A and B are shown apart, each in its own frame.
Chain A
Amino acid sequence: MSTLALPESPHGLNHQLVDELLAVPDHGSKIVVRAVGLTKVYRTASHETHALRGASLTVKRGEYIAIMGPSGSGKSTLFNLVGALSRPTSGKVYIDQVDIAQLDHDELAWLRCRKIGYIFQTYNLLRVMTCLENVMLPMAFAGLDSDTARDKAAWLLERVGLGHRILHKPTELSGGQQQRCAIARALANSPDIVLADEPTGNLDSRTGEEMIALLAQLQHDLGVTVISATHDHKMLQRADRILWIQDGLIVKDGKPADLELPGAH
């Protein structure tokens, strides 16, 4: 655990304030995400693709969940629906008991800002900004004043092991470092849920392993719920639960040890 301990602060961090900002909200409910009967049909001029055909899932607060399955099975589609990034054709998604279909554009922005942190295969950092500014941006959207945001962003970047690179632009960083920055950014507003789509997809095996370990650590330390779509079997050792998805349906759901997964060793 102490590998990620906070080094001597060069930025005059207000630790107490940062700790308060990072504090896990003490919610009554244990269910943080519930999806019921999700379907998604992509219509193009020539044909329809049924990417999801009735997927349901329930995620408890603080779980580390891996969504696995073959390519084209609907993992990214599920990621987008659960993350309120697109609308299901039918079915419902509840985040903290709230049916997100009922929310307007600005309420969705609020939800994406504070309840969910996103991590992508391609990092999706804003290349016009430094790491620090990337991590500060969601806090600016949440209305946090910039001094507090800077403190917290520096703290987060140190937590993910990027304390020495906070003023670098993403283009000056390795893939693993960029993904660390993206993880720090996902945690900026202390979300309940961190959603990741193939977070290790563009990284070599060792760096991928580091990323998985980092996510597991943050999940453990900060009590955040992690839902990650992945191909990466290294995730099996860390995840609390695996959802195996095939042809748009969740066909297996259980602890890694209990599942007979194709290709797992």
Chain B
Amino acid sequence: MSTTPPAATASGLNSTDINQVGDIGRQPNLPVLIAWEVVTQGIRIRLGRSLVTLTSVALGIAFLASILIGQVVQRGVQGERDARDVAIRCVAALEADLGQMTGKRLLTIGAPDAANQRLLELLVAAGAIVSDQAQDPAPVAATLLFGGLGPSSTVSGRVAGSFTPAQISADPVPGRVIINFNRPATAEELAAQADAEYRNRARTAWITGIALAVTAIGITNAMLMSVTERFREIGTMKCLGAMGSFIRRVFVIEACLIGVAGGISGALLGMLASCISYGVRYGAGMVMTSTAWGMVSLLLIGTVIASVVLSVTAAVYPAWVAARMRPANALRSSV
């Protein structure tokens, strides 16, 4: 019985309902699940090829991440080294003024910035006893005045006239040695600082732009290849009734997957690379303590997002072309 199926029965099955003479129906929009299956199966079977695409994306993103994170690490290390330099000079100045630091009591007023924090650490390391408690009964050798916006690169010397009456009256023992680290910056210094900052920002933007462009070109190339080498498969699927939207969806899903996987592995790889290279140059401890890890994690997330966005945009155009291709042309192409 099964060799000759009976003529059409009055069944409710839609495949026979729609097949009326001269009637062209609409292809149903397939659930995303089918596109997903086609993609995952494709990736599994073409594992080698998928890995090549993935590696291209990951390397591009690793390059981008290492450039961006490298800048953050460099800034952190540089700041730390500057702060230490300043602190060492300050300690030398203090020692010139007050003699050996061992056992000396120092009172601090105001909030020390990062550089001054280093100074305090060095002073403690040299044997000084540092306290910000003015009520401390023991006599102090000197009072250190911190705060304000000025750079702390210069020790301005004994009691200068540049602090407020309130601060002086807060000093329990007037006339004592007061070292002012609160030197306001001069106009020229502020201008130079702004200029340096501007140039630094321009350089960062330039390097970031170049890195982004290199990465984008690499990813576009990888995605373009992975779509064009499958024109034949696309042509076949169109012969079987795949709509353009389905083809596009397959490639967008695939680009997303590759973008996420390549982005995560690439970002981690890039971070590792820049941390290791700076770690070798300046010491792992230096990198660990001086880097702004919050910024680094933001950059990690940012590069993963960039990876997905770049991969998807790179795949959209060739997928669009593939989806609109006449099947005969798609089938002819033999890449």
Contacts and interface: CB of A to CB of B under 8 A. Distances in A.
A210 interface: no
Contacts of B41: 128-129, 133
Among B30, B42, B240, B327, the most chain A Cβ lie within 10 Å of the Cβ of B240
Interface stretch (A64-72, A112-120, A242-250): A112-120
Contacts of B8: 20, 23-26
Interface in A102-154: 103, 105-107, 109-115, 118, 120, 124-129, 133, 137-138, 140-144
Contact of B3 (A110, A114, A142, A221): A221
Interface in A1-56: 1-2, 4-6, 15, 17-29
Instruction: Assign chain B's interface to a size class.
Output: 35 or more
A125 B237 CA distance: 9
Interface residues of A, number: 64
Interface of A: 1-2, 4-6, 15, 17-29, 80, 83, 85-87, 96-98, 103, 105-107, 109-115, 118, 120, 124-129, 133, 137-138, 140-144, 155, 159, 169, 185, 188-190, 192, 221-222
A1 B3 contact: yes
A15 B5 CA distance: 10
B164 interface: no
A85 B27 contact: no
A5 B3 CA distance: 6
Interface of B: 1-9, 11, 13-16, 18-22, 24-28, 30, 34, 38, 41-42, 44-46, 232-233, 235-244, 246, 324, 326-329, 331
B15 A21 contact: yes
Given A96-B22, A142-B241, A23 B7 contact: yes
B328 A113 contact: no
Nearest to B40: A128
A86 B235 CA distance: 11
A4 B3 contact: yes
Contacts of A107: 24-26
A21 B25 CA distance: 17
Contacts of A103: 24
Contacts of A28: 21
Nearest to B236: A124
B24 A87 contact: no
Contacts of B329: 86
Contacts of B9: 20, 23
A109 B2 contact: no
Contacts of A109: 27, 238, 241-244
Contacts of A87: 326
A186 to B, nearest CB: 9
B287 to A, nearest CB: 45
B19 A25 contact: yes
21 contacts: A5-B3, A6-B2, A6-B3, A20-B8, A23-B6, A27-B20, A28-B21, A85-B328, A85-B331, A96-B21, A110-B24, A113-B241, A118-B239, A126-B236, A128-B41, A128-B42, A141-B241, A142-B28, A142-B241, A190-B15, A192-B19
